[in-house]
Structure 1
Amino acid sequence: MSTADTTQSAVVAKLSGLDRFLPVWIAAAMVVGLLAGRWVPGLEGALNAVAIDGISLPIALGLLVMMYPVLAKVRYDRLDTVTGDRKLLLSSLVLNWLFGPALMFALAWLLLPDLPEYRTGLIIVGLARCIAMVVIWNDLACGDREAAAVLVALNSVFQVIMFGALGWFYLSVLPGWLGLPQTDLAVSGWQITANVLVFLGIPLVAGYLTRRLGERAKGRDWYEARFLPKIGPVALYGLLFTIVILFALQGEQITSRPLDVVRIALPLLAYFAIMWAVSYAVGKAAGLNYARTTTLAFTAAGNNFELAIAVAIATFGAASGQALAGVVGPLIEVPVLVALVYVSLALRRRFTASTTEAS
């Protein structure tokens, strides 16, 4: 067995049973959520009964629980090594805010030319860059946690600044230039800001304070060897809970329109695969190591479906085609990015082999 194969086997062997069979648990969570949303009377109303600025409280809680352990693992004293990496930061900005929205616009028009509502919904998904679940995929793929924290924060700032402007450009201006039908998008700046503050700000502050206070009280060795292993599984429990709730809320829409879901799924599949592959190639070409290349790929490929769904519902209504397109987003994104976690771990062998040859 080669050194690269041994390294890959060691990585897989370190995964817990929960991590190793994550695709199974996620598939089960999706099925449970879809069936519950379809067959449990009044469930959707109960889950939406408590909302914060249009965000369902159960989803918000699930995301907070999911993100907190990962952000508690970040070594915040090392963030300066990431902010000084101009190749990483520039690559992330270009991929997230130039290439990503343009790619989704092209795929939506190419594959859904006759379905304007779904097309608009997909373009909105492409504009909402990921600030939540990406930290889970990055962690599972052994990406750079500190780099992920910085890039997610960067996406959050740009999301507040750029989402409305890009929505106007891709739905109203660019179609007009190309002689295509135009769409208006009314976006609340407060809604975007609230989304960022809830899904990133709260767990980020909690993670930072936990590490700072824990290391001060017990030391770094105790914090990383004793405390972090105890809270680590909580992130995946939060992920599975979030998936169940999300699909329970939208179960009837998804299961009652299967052919529409298939049409929407095709450009989404192409989008996630192309974004991840191009981002990975960019990281490799820029000379980034495995951890930062992986982080670049996942932070560019993921999308903030919570924001996309909220904006689609607020602008076009809960029963609109735009909202359905936003709902199908995580239905496709979750299993695809889980699969790409395993692809990343397999590609880790090439980085290991390259490093061995260079030395």
Structure 2
Amino acid sequence: MSLFERYLTVWIALAMVSGVAANAMLPSLFAWIASTEIYGINLVITILIWLMIYPMMIAVKFTEVRNCFRQPQGLMITIIMNWLIKPFSMALLAIVFMRFVYAGLIETETADAYIAGMILLGVAPCTAMVFVWSYLTKGNPGYTVTQVAVNDLIMLFAFAPITALLLGLSEIFVPWDLLIISVFLFVVLPLGAGVLTRQLLKTEAAIQRFTVSLKPLSIFGLVATVFILFGLQADNILSNPTDIVLIAIPLIIQTVLIFYLTYKWMERWRQPHNIAAPGAMIGASNFFELAVAVAIALFGVHSGAALATIVGVLVEVPLMLALVRYANRTRTSYDLAVGENSEVTAKY
């Protein structure tokens, strides 16, 4: 690892602080960045995410994608965690903290709004950033793409009814255009670009050299994305510091809990590390663009629900980096627990 990669957490922390500070000094810059949003998708952030995930898409081999369905245990774990456990554990944590642990600290109406926002985060598994976490943990590119694609397909049908059930609302507004555009921008289009690049480069040696040369751009994209996100949310951060901390605590517990349960379940079912780590990251992280959009549509831009989903954005990147570090540090012990000669490990 290069010096820059080794201290990535430090650069992310600096990006968070400098993003908030830059908003005060250059408000017009962040106003312009915010104005580039179309159908809930910010174009500047989309370009930066592309820089992050494009190298991984080049590494996707479709022979590996076919193997995913021959060994579907990793997919099964991801689906069960994301759709039968995660939404309900998030709802439970939100209710326990907001109505009991924080009783007397937050007004009941405000607490209910925060609960709604956290539930929206819990029902929206990650679509784009998970490719970055997979890349940083040396995940299997083909399997990660398949996991994300299957979750996106389920989300098209399951997001609205699960959200309606947990929020107790009869009608849920789902921004289908945001869902479809996000899948196209962050999965289909970069995957197509990766396939085209592989065909042009032809040999594995050339592909490897090209992806290595892109790695600095990928890291830059991650740091720049954090800088912009914190700059765009600077007003919320500075005006609601106490509530942001209170909301962040159950979100952090939920993220670590889902990651740990998925990671250990993958280990129990003897899935290789390059499937287990990305699979755990998909459940632990969130499709925050969707959660924010639905919160604003249902409850308003200045609502507590919208604020809670924004806190999800602020918490996710530094926390996921910590989990990436944990996954990389435990790779050896994980492989020993699974067994280097297991059938699944040999196939991948």
Q: TM-score, normalised by structure 2?
A: 0.89
The partner residue of 1:321 within 304, 307, 311 is 304
In 1: Cα distance, 2:176 partner to 2:90 partner: 22
Q: Name 1:253's counterpart in structure 2.
A: 236
Q: Are positions 1:151 and 2:147 aligned together?
A: yes
Task: Please show how residues 220-299 of structure 1 align to structure 2 within 5 Å.
Answer: 220-224=204-208, 226-299=209-282
Matched, 1:199 2:186: yes
8 Å contact kept, 1:125–1:303: yes
1:37 & 1:100 partners in 2: Cα distance? 34
- Asked whether the equivalents of residues 259 and 280 of structure 2 are also in contact (C-alpha less than 8 Å), the reply is yes
Which residue identity lines up with residue 203 of structure 1 in the other structure?
A: P
Shift of 1:48: 1.9
Specify the code of the residue in structure 1 equivalent to 2:128. Answer: A
C-alpha RMSD over aligned residues: 1.9
Q: Once the 2 structures are TM-superposed, how far is the Cα of residue 189 of structure 1 from its aligned partner? A: 2.0
Name the SS for the 2:330 alignment partner: helix
The percentage of aligned residue pairs carrying the same residue is 33
Which deviates more from structure 2 when the two are superposed, residues 69-78 or residues 103-112? 69-78
| Residue of structure 2 in register with 1:96 after alignment | 82
What is the number of residues matched between the two proteins? 331
Q: Is the 8 A contact 1:164 1:189 kept in 2?
A: no
Q: What one-letter code is carried by the residue in structure 2 that aligns with 1:196?
A: V
Contact persistence 1:33–1:245 (CA under 8 A): yes
Report the CA distance between 1:106 and its aligned residue: 0.7
Report the counterpart of residue 51 of structure 2 in structure 1. 65
Which AA in structure 2 matches 1:19? E
User: Could you say which residue in structure 1 is the equivalent of 2:177?
Assistant: 190
Post-superposition Cα deviations, 1:187-221, rounded to whole Å, max 9, x if no partner, equal: 22222222222222221221222112321xxx222
Q: Quote the offset at 1:337 in angstroms.
A: 1.3
**Cα distance in 1 for residues equivalent to 2:155 and 2:37:** 22
AA in 2 matched with 1:191: L
Rounded Cα–Cα distance in structure 1 between residues aligned with 2:27 and 2:200: 45
CA contact 1:108–1:119 (8 Å) conserved in 2: yes
- Pick which of 18-27 and 187-196 moved more: 187-196
Q: In structure 2, give the amino acid aligned to 1:151.
A: Q
Contact 2:198/2:207 (8 A) holds in 1: yes
Post-superposition Cα deviations, 1:95-132, rounded to whole Å, max 9, x if no partner, equal 11111111111111111123011111110011111011
1:1-359 correspondence runs (5 A)? 15-113=1-99, 114=108, 115-172=111-168, 185-215=172-202, 219-224=203-208, 226-354=209-337, 355=339
- The change in CA–CA distance for 1:159 and 1:223 in structure 2 (over 3 A counts) is same
SS in structure 2 at match of 1:191 = helix
CA contact (8 A) 1:23 1:335 kept: yes
Q: Which runs of 5+ in 1 are unaligned?
A: 1-14, 173-181
Distance (Å, rounded) in 2 between the aligned partners of 1:192 and 1:258: 31
Measure the CA separation in 1 of the matches of 2:313 and 2:125. 13
Q: 1:58: how far off?
A: 1.3
Residue type of the partner of 1:41?
P
Give structure 2 stretches of 5+ with no counterpart: 100-107, 343-348
Change (3 A) 1:357 1:80: closer
- Residue 286 of structure 1 and its aligned partner are, at CA, apart by 0.9
User: How far apart, in 2, do the equivalents of 1:53 and 1:144 lie?
Assistant: 31
8 Å CA contact retained: 1:253, 1:324: yes
Per-residue deviation, 1:37? 2.6
TM-score for the superposition, normalised by structure 1: 0.87
